[in-house]
């Protein structure tokens, strides 16, 4: 099937696998977005995106305004960091990361002054009068990354028009992870601004066709987005079946268009770019108002949270401040998660700060968390049926456990999206995704070691070649000097002979 820019969605295409976990969205779906008060301290990590960490542009003691640049991006795959509010920089050092490891990362600590005073923002401009490259430049300068959790610098995706023949922009409003409702609320409450941001991104990409996919458990978001898009016939809002992982961009694209992304390829390979509604809103704010990304909407939910909410939170706010605003825990949580329960990351404690890619803070009780004891595989193949990528999770896990990485790779390790569907359906409670993540980490470690070994070998060969060239040059110089000395000696002998001959005459 060929997908044309003018084609309307008349049917959806079925994807393989997937599961139907309880969505648990009623805890926060009807809670309007609130602004979290400015906390007493902000810990702003310099690594909030895929790629190179940002480099500090301020020092301890500096006073900064809201939106002021705190750290510069380093290279193409990177993103700058801006001050979430006005205040004084009280530290440029290390602080525990928003990661399961709890390891410290480079962090700027800001003490707010309570004034929340913005820097002077650039005058508003009509994005549709700008060159597409200028839009991407402004998005990059605003520090915008994929806010669905991927945190890939958005400007890089907006520049894909230079490398691919694009025809469609897909907006991923599936939000298929249980508990999460922040995108739902954004589409309900800011539908006009989200549509504006989507149109700006489509203009930057040079595409006409826009498809917004929203799961059918969000009827109010679907209605709000359809109403906001009424004046734009090139925008389609499509209801999606409630099937996890519908939010995986490759499976979303296949569901909407029937086009399958090549293995280990990009959706851009088939002419489609996927973005998130929250990203579209950030792009709109950056282009229309000149505002960098300094806050985001986060769902705070789970059975252990006394008052689940959707909050707009300044980046760098501690998780504890967020929990306190939700009136704390009613019971001690069994598990604290950043993101959704299927693909989210465990958090070591509530001291860690919120970052650009955090769309949810979940505090789950023992009843909500399955902690059954792992038992031997019964070869039921439930994991095979559930895998949306058509892999063989049981075979992959067995080889990963045995350390046979070559076999795991051949079985499709790098095609695994770590969605957790296989672990969810496993009656033996085998932590399959953990095996795959371990295998990916070990494979990456071996590749780094091999790269280091190859690089060392290359440097040694270069050194040997350089030393050999120096030795050759030295030998040639010595030979030349010998020839010159011999020539001088011969010339002197000839001159002496001539002098003696003249004297005898």
Cα 384 vs. chain centroid, distance in angstroms?
28
Residue 309 and residue 34 in contact, taking contact as beta carbons nearer than 8 Å: yes
Q: What DSSP character marks residue 130? A: S
How far is it, in rounded angstroms, from Cα 422 to Cα 426? 6
Residue 239 CA to residue 252 CA, distance in Å, equals 11
Burial annotation 148-169 (CB, 10 A radius, 16+ → b, else e):
bbbbbbbbbbbbbbeebebbbb
- pLDDT number for residue 306: 97
Contact 41, 288 (CB under 8 A): no
Q: Would the annotation count 383 as a binding residue?
A: yes
pLDDT of 7: 64
Q: What is the pLDDT of residue 289?
A: 95
Residue 182 labelled as part of a binding site: no
Cis omega (within 30 of 0) on the bond before 245?
yes
What pTM was computed for the model?
0.87
387 assigned to a ligand binding site: yes
Spell out, as residue ranges, where the chain has pLDDT lower than 70: 1-7, 505
3-state SS, residue 199: helix
Question: What are the structure tokens assigned to 329, written together?
Answer: 């825990």
- The response to whether 326 counts as a known ligand-binding position is no
Rounded-to-integer distance, Cα 173 and Cα 158, Å: 18
Give the whole-angstrom CA distance, residue 468 versus residue 377: 60
Structure-derived torsion over alpha carbons of residues 175, 276, 384, 380, reported in degrees to the nearest 10 = -20
Contact 317, 107 (CB under 8 A): no
pLDDT value at position 399?
A: 93
CA angle 269, 17, 14 (to 5 degrees): 65
DSSP 19-65: B-----GGGTTT--EEEPPPPS-EEEES--SSSBPPEE---TT-EE-
CA distance 237 to 223: 9
CB 57 within 8 A of CB 83: no
Q: Is 92 left (phi over 0), alpha (psi -120 to 50) or beta?
A: beta
| Residue 117: per-residue pLDDT | 97
Token couple for 225: 């987005």
Q: According to the model, what pLDDT value does residue 496 have?
A: 83
Residue 233 CA from chain centroid, whole number: 31
Crossing angle of helices 191-205 and 219-228, rounded to 10°? 60
Chain CA centroid to CA 11, Å: 31
416 among annotated binding-site residues: yes
Give pLDDT, residue 5. 47
Is 426 marked as binding a ligand?
A: yes
Token pair for 476? 């040639």
SS3 386: helix
DSSP label at 16? S
């Amino acid at each position: 099937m060929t997908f044309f820019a003018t084609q309307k969605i008349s049917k959806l295409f079925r994807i393989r696998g997937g599961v139907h976990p309880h969505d648990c969205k009623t805890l926060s779906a009807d809670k309007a977005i609130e602004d979290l008060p400015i906390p007493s301290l902000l810990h702003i990590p310099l690594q909030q995106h895929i790629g190179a960490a940002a480099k500090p542009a301020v020092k301890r003691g500096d006073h900064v305004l809201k939106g002021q640049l705190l750290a510069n991006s380093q290279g193409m795959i990177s993103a700058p960091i801006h001050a979430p509010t006005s205040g004084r920089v009280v530290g440029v050092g290390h602080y525990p990361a928003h990661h399961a490891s709890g390891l410290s990362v480079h962090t700027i600590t800001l003490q707010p002054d309570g004034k929340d005073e913005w820097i002077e923002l650039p005058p508003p401009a009509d994005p549709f009068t700008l060159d597409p490259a200028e839009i991407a430049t402004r998005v990059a300068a605003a520090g915008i990354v994929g806010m669905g959790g991927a945190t890939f610098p958005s400007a890089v995706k907006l520049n894909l028009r230079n490398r691919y023949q694009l025809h469609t922009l897909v907006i991923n409003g599936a939000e298929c992870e249980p508990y999460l409702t922040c995108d739902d609320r954004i589409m309900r409450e800011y539908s006009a601004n989200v549509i504006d941001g989507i149109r700006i991104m489509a203009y930057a990409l040079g595409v006409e066709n826009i498809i917004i996919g929203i799961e059918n458990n969000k009827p109010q978001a679907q209605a709000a987005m359809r109403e906001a898009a009424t004046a734009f016939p090139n925008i389609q809002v499509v209801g999606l079946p409630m099937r996890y992982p519908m939010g995986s961009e490759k499976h979303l694209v296949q569901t909407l268009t029937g086009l399958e992304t090549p293995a280990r390829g990009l959706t851009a390979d088939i002419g489609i770019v996927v973005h998130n509604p929250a990203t579209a809103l950030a792009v709109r704010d950056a282009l229309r108002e000149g505002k960098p990304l300094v806050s985001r909407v986060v769902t705070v939910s789970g059975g252990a949270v006394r008052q689940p909410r959707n909050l707009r939170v300044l980046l760098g706010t501690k998780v504890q401040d967020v929990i306190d605003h939700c009136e704390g825990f009613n019971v001690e949580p069994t598990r604290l998660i950043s993101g959704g329960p299927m693909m989210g990351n465990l958090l070591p404690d509530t001291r860690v700060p919120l970052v650009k890619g955090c769309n949810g803070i979940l505090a789950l009780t023992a009843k909500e968390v399955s902690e059954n004891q792992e038992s031997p595989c019964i070869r039921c193949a439930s994991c095979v049926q559930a895998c949306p990528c058509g892999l063989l999770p049981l075979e992959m896990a067995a080889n990963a456990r045995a350390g046979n990485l070559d076999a795991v790779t051949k079985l499709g390790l790098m095609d695994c999206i770590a969605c957790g569907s296989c672990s969810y359906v496993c009656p033996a409670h085998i932590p399959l995704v953990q095996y795959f993540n371990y295998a990916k980490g070990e494979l990456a470690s071996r590749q780094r070691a091999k790269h280091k070994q190859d690089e060392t070998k290359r440097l040694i060969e270069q050194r040997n070649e350089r030393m050999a060239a120096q030795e050759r040059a030295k030998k040639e110089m010595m030979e030349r000097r010998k020839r010159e000395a011999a020539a001088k000696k011969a010339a002197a002998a000839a001159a002496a002979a001539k002098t003696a001959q003249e004297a005898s005459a």
